Structure 1
Amino acid sequence: MSHKLEVDSIQLAFNDRRILSDIYLKCETGKITGLLGRNGQGKSCLMKIIYGSMPCEKSVRFDQKVQFEAFKRPDLLLYLPQFNFIPRSLSLKRIFKDFNLDFAVFQHRFPEFSSRYRSSVGSLSGGGQRLVEIYVIVKSSSCFAMLDEPFSHLNPMQIEKVKELLLEEKEHKGLLITDHMYRHILDLSDNLYVLEGGKTHLTKTIEDIEMLGYARL
């Protein structure tokens, strides 16, 4: 069964500066939706608004049902923020137990963690911590997951493995992803929005992205 997340009617301003004002975004299970935009355009704010952790005027709907505080519904939506969100003192054993995931499956995909089952996440490298966080968010049994800058701190080999993981998991859920490493977003996305001037623009071609001034590709 397919599911749909839709967002519109968002009004967000800071100190009389309008940040978001004409937003429409749709994310569907079975697809990866990319979100691009220059720094300061409000990509992270938009994700926090969808998640319900940043209050403002909005309409967030899951299968046409309004949900103001999606963070209270992990069965619907999970969110990977830019910063590390798992406490550094927790062991990987505890993390995988809390997320109800099999560490052996993770270890098979990422064998470099084979001896770290009882290690604290804080003892891992920055890339290792990010990899664990991406994995538990993406593999958990939510309908949707939002990933804010997932490729930060990852090396090229880890990035390719994460991209493979995302392409596999989109068969089970809808993924909304933003990252300044935009070529990876272009590779992955079934649908792509560019956030510019407080508005979302659904793009169809590379020329659309260039016309919106995001990048020369």
Structure 2
Amino acid sequence: MTHHLEVDSVQLKFGAREILSDVYLKCETGKITGLLGRNGTGKSSLMNIIFGSLVPENKSVRFDGKSVPKAYLHHELLSYLPQYHFIPAHLTLNRVFSDFNLEFAPFESFFPEFRQKHQQKIIELSGGQRRLVEAYVLIKSKSEFVMLDEPFSHLSPLMIGLVKELIKEEQANKGFLITDHMYRDVIELSNDLYVLAEEQVYLVKEIEDLKRLGYTSSIS
């Protein structure tokens, strides 16, 4: 069964500046939805609005047609990877995986550099390793939908490739909404692609739309 996440009628202002105006976006389970936009256009704000941690002037967030204004209270519906580190630094990897009801063995098998490190604390990891752990536990979470804000940040090209593999593997089980400045990786992954420009979200039907919307002039 396909499940749907829809957000529309979003209005967001910071002071006199309008950030988002009458925004509509849809995600489905079994699909990867990409969200592109230049810095400061409101991508992270939109994700926080969907999550319910940012309250705008107006919004409608629905899961299978049912309004869910505080999705952060419903982990079975939605998980969110923010730009900043969110896992407490004092926790061990073993504790983190236990809290997310995940086995550590498949993780260390996929990422051999973590072998025998289940007792290591988050604070002892590099920035890239920490981001990798955070992305992994949410990609593998039991939520119907997962939002990933800059999941490739601080990761090596090899790690980015492996994270993309994980997302594709989990695509059959959930829906993804992804934004990242590594736009080529987002484009490659996405079944549906949106661009946020001039306070609104536009569905991209072909690569030329990215140029027309002023996102980039160099995509081929």
The TM-score by the shorter chain falls in which range? over 0.9
What is the alpha-carbon distance in structure 2 between the residues aligned to residue 115 and residue 155 of structure 1?
22
Cα offsets for 1:117-175 (capped at 9, x unmatched): 00001101111000000010010100000000000000000000000000111110000
Percent of pairs identical after alignment? 59
2:99 aligned residue: 98
What is the alpha-carbon distance in structure 2 between the residues aligned to residue 137 and residue 165 of structure 1?
11
1:161 matched to 2:195: no
1:148 aligned residue: 149
For these two proteins, the number of residue pairs brought into alignment is: 217
1:8-157 to structure 2, matched below 5 A, reads 8-56=8-56, 57-157=58-158
What is the alpha-carbon distance in structure 2 between the residues aligned to residue 183 and residue 49 of structure 1?
25
What's the secondary structure of 1:185's corresponding residue? Answer: helix
TM-score (norm 2): 0.98
Cα offsets for 1:39-83 (capped at 9, x unmatched): 110000000000000012100000000000000000000000000
Off by >6 Å, runs of 4+ in structure 1: none
Cα offset for 1:11?
A: 0.8
Cα offsets for 1:78-120 (capped at 9, x unmatched): 0000000001100001000000000001111111101210000
Give the gaps of 5 or more residues in structure 1: none
1:6 aligned residue: 6
Give the gaps of 5 or more residues in structure 2: none
2:179 aligned residue: 178
